[in-house]
A and B are shown apart, each in its own frame.
Chain A
Amino acid sequence: MKIKATILNGLQLAGLGAFDPVVRLLSGENPSAQLPKIGQFILMPIGGFALFLAVWTIAASSIQTRYGSIPNPKAVWVAGSQLLAAHQKTTADRQQFYVDRDKQAKEYVEKAATLRTAAADPKNAALKDRLDEAAVKNDGLAASTMKRKYAGSPSYLDQIRTSLLTVFTGFVLASAIAIPVGILCGLSPVFMACVNPFIQIFKPVSPLAWLPIVMIVVGALYTTDPSEAWFEKSFISSAITVALCSLWPTLTNTALGVASIDKDYINVARVLQLSPSSRVFKIILPASLPLMFTGLRISLGVGWMVLIAAEMLAQNPGLGKFVWDMFQNGSSETLAQIMVAVFTIGGIGFLLDRIMIVCQRMVSFDSAVSA
């Protein structure tokens, strides 16, 4: 029974309450109470999805585009499998490339070593200079070989990984700015009055407008040698654009959470004569955490939407660039692959939102689940 309660709690926490009746049914609870719920919350959505697929299949065959007819669900499924297969091939290729590269570099290093031993031999005294020269040349070759990177195009899963990394970086950046500023805004009406005009004006700006500015500024400031840089310029531009567009919901929600904190909590802090810092950390922050997380959740959603546009424009490897490339090299598979991308983007967005919901439930102190 304890296991059942834990599972039910977990489902509730993850926002998967729809599967609640299934667990109850399996554990032997009265079917007549659970079956209607299963019908409503599980069969109905499945039915809706099936209907959607049917309409899609029919519609697909009747619309002709310059890339042929619109792919039906099966074609999209096939395109998805092909992308996965291509990923496996790319991964194997890449591994092979690095194995070969390292082997080659090792050969150069060994050759250099042999040349040096030869040069040290008094018998070859006449050739010493030339041998040394050759050794140094081999050293150089080894070093430049090690710098070579796999140049093949990234696979679909690599693109997804880059996208996730970009959105995560942008999100962290946005949170790092929005939360402190939001707290200050909530604490001080004066500060809020200063910042509010910027919030109002910049909040509605489209990522497509931010991106060129960000790219130019990043281009000017980020002058590290590309072969040594940790991040690519396009990656940084996309991440910053994501941050610029997604920080507003967190900022405004944090400010609201801090400003609308229950007066009773403040009174407790006053009677206890808490210092300003413990007032912030022990009362104000925990009290505004639920609203802050609401903001973070919206921010992550916005960030994920913005990311695709930013990647398309910045040509940052990622799902956005994938879609753009597919569009550009238009083949018969273009549409199917773009649709795979659409479902991937939707699925990942959904998962990210779920994760944030779980976090939100964990910090919300009103629900008993959090205990």
Chain B
Amino acid sequence: MAFLELDGVSKSFTVNGKTKPVLREINLSIEQGEFVAIVGFSGSGKTTLMSLMAGLILPDEGEVRLHGERVTGPSPNRGIVFQNYSLLPWLTVFENVKLAVDQVCRGWTTERKRERVLEYLKMVNLSPAAQKRPAQLSGGMRQRVSVARTLAMDPEVLLLDEPLGALDALTRATLQDEIERIWERDRKTCVLITNDLDEALLLADRIIPMTAGPGATLGPSFAVDAERPRDRRAIAKGAEFKHLRRELTEWLLTVARQQPTLPVSAPSSPQHPVVSGAAT
């Protein structure tokens, strides 16, 4: 039994009486402490997949399981960093994080809670901005507040929905290093959604491409065996990364676009085919 499992999950949305399939036959199992990246086209249903794992929406078919228990709703043990930050604009940075701490650390003294908030703000290098409001922050800073809020809940699973999508390349690199550092520290199970293959290659143990919608599903897993921390230059130039990137791109551009008759990962076999393992 894997730690986090999606078993034959399908989801469609009905808008104006028209039912539109978004995800179908999603099978995925993630081990404890694993870092999985999901890459896919915009609008293919990645956020929908995240919401399903978080329990914010429920699947039409199939089920999501954590520790073998069916997920029936959201909970702080599946911390999600929303694509659009979702900070509460009327609260300061400190209060935003405190809202999460108050909820998770019941029975703690005020002082201890305060320390925990400050600890997580420090972790994302935001201590000086603690008393600012989200509107006064840059996009990257907001993103880090959002990460701090989620980490402060001490979730078992960390769901990151394109956390760096809106950032420039330099800030992105800094935050990628931060995510890497934080993950190395706690080794939490982590699902990262991204549209940047290099980001996935840098951070993930396993990369899973997603087909284009409607009715998107997951492709085969591509394992990334390189040692950590990985070197950006190696990712840009290294032969094994180049190979992996080419395979992924190839898959996304050919197989993923063949709609709707695409090879669906067989619901019966939980083991995904591992196409390539890049060795360092």
Which residues of A pack against B, CB within 8 Å? 264-265, 267-268, 270-274, 282-283, 286-287, 289, 365-368, 370-371
Interface of B is mostly: loop
Given the interface contacts A272-B76, A274-B103, does A365 sit within 8 Å of B133 by beta carbon?
A: yes
Instruction: Collect the chain A residues with CB atoms within 8 Å of residue B56's CB.
Output: 267, 270-271
Given the interface contacts A270-B56, A366-B135, A371-B136, does A264 sit within 8 Å of B89 by beta carbon?
A: no
Which partner residue on chain B sits nearest A265 by CB separation?
Answer: B88
Instruction: Collect the chain B residues with CB atoms within 8 Å of residue A268's CB.
Output: 82, 86, 88, 99
Closest CB-CB distance, A211 to chain B, in whole Å? 40
Closest CB-CB distance, B76 to chain A, in whole Å? 6
Instruction: Collect the chain B residues with CB atoms within 8 Å of residue A273's CB.
Output: 74-76, 103
Instruction: Collect the chain B residues with CB atoms within 8 Å of residue A283's CB.
Output: 88
A282 to B135 CA separation, bound complex (whole angstroms): 18
A272 to B149 CA separation, bound complex (whole angstroms): 10
Which partner residue on chain A sits nearest B134 by CB separation?
Answer: A365
Which partner residue on chain A sits nearest B85 by CB separation?
Answer: A264
- Pairwise interchain contact A366-B89, C-beta atoms closer than 8 A: yes
Instruction: Collect the chain B residues with CB atoms within 8 Å of residue A287's CB.
Output: 88, 90
Which of chain B's residues 122-169 have a Cβ closer than 8 Å to chain A?
A: 132-133, 135-136, 153
Closest CB-CB distance, A273 to chain B, in whole Å? 6
Which partner residue on chain A sits nearest B155 by CB separation?
Answer: A271
Which of chain B's residues 83-136 have a Cβ closer than 8 Å to chain A?
A: 84, 86, 88-91, 99-100, 103-104, 132-133, 135-136
A365 to B78 CA separation, bound complex (whole angstroms): 29
In the assembled complex, B71 has its CB within 8 A of some CB on chain A: no
In the assembled complex, B45 has its CB within 8 A of some CB on chain A: no
In the assembled complex, B80 has its CB within 8 A of some CB on chain A: yes
In the assembled complex, B6 has its CB within 8 A of some CB on chain A: no
- Pairwise interchain contact B86-A264, C-beta atoms closer than 8 A: yes
- Pairwise interchain contact A272-B135, C-beta atoms closer than 8 A: no
A301 to B76 CA separation, bound complex (whole angstroms): 45
- Pairwise interchain contact B99-A282, C-beta atoms closer than 8 A: yes
For this complex, into which size category does the number of interface residues on chain B fall? 20 to 34
Which residues of B pack against A, CB within 8 Å? 54, 56, 73-76, 78-80, 82, 84, 86, 88-91, 99-100, 103-104, 132-133, 135-136, 153
Instruction: Collect the chain A residues with CB atoms within 8 Å of residue B136's CB.
Output: 368, 371
A368 to B136 CA separation, bound complex (whole angstroms): 7
Given contacts A271-B79, A272-B104, 6 further A-B contacts (CB under 8 A): A270-B73, A271-B80, A287-B90, A368-B133, A370-B133, A371-B132
- Pairwise interchain contact A267-B86, C-beta atoms closer than 8 A: yes
Residue picked from B75, B79, B84, B99, most chain A C-beta under 10 Å: B99
Instruction: Collect the chain A residues with CB atoms within 8 Å of residue B99's CB.
Output: 268, 272, 282
Closest CB-CB distance, A218 to chain B, in whole Å? 40
- Pairwise interchain contact B74-A271, C-beta atoms closer than 8 A: yes
Closest CB-CB distance, B56 to chain A, in whole Å? 6
A343 to B91 CA separation, bound complex (whole angstroms): 42
Would you list the 7 A-B pairs with minimal beta carbon distance, nearest first? A365-B90, A264-B86, A365-B89, A286-B90, A272-B103, A270-B74, A271-B74
Closest CB-CB distance, A275 to chain B, in whole Å? 9
Which partner residue on chain B sits nearest A271 by CB separation?
Answer: B74
- Pairwise interchain contact A286-B88, C-beta atoms closer than 8 A: yes
Instruction: Collect the chain A residues with CB atoms within 8 Å of residue B73's CB.
Output: 270
Can you spell out 26 A-B residue pairs with CB atoms less than 8 angstroms apart?
A: A267-B56, A268-B82, A268-B99, A270-B56, A270-B74, A271-B75, A271-B76, A271-B78, A272-B100, A272-B103, A272-B153, A273-B74, A273-B75, A282-B99, A286-B88, A287-B90, A289-B90, A365-B89, A365-B133, A365-B135, A366-B89, A367-B135, A368-B133, A368-B136, A371-B132, A371-B136
Closest CB-CB distance, A270 to chain B, in whole Å? 5
Closest CB-CB distance, B145 to chain A, in whole Å? 12
Closest CB-CB distance, B34 to chain A, in whole Å? 22
Instruction: Collect the chain A residues with CB atoms within 8 Å of residue B74's CB.
Output: 267, 270-271, 273
A366 to B88 CA separation, bound complex (whole angstroms): 11
A287 to B88 CA separation, bound complex (whole angstroms): 8
Which partner residue on chain B sits nearest A367 by CB separation?
Answer: B135
A268 to B74 CA separation, bound complex (whole angstroms): 10
Instruction: Collect the chain A residues with CB atoms within 8 Å of residue B103's CB.
Output: 272-274
Name the one of A271, A274, A286, A371 contacting B133, with C-beta atoms under 8 angstroms.
A371
Closest CB-CB distance, B150 to chain A, in whole Å? 9
- Pairwise interchain contact B79-A368, C-beta atoms closer than 8 A: no
Residue picked from B56, B73, B75, B103, most chain A C-beta under 10 Å: B103
Which partner residue on chain A sits nearest B103 by CB separation?
Answer: A272
A282 to B104 CA separation, bound complex (whole angstroms): 16
Closest CB-CB distance, B53 to chain A, in whole Å? 12
Closest CB-CB distance, B58 to chain A, in whole Å? 12
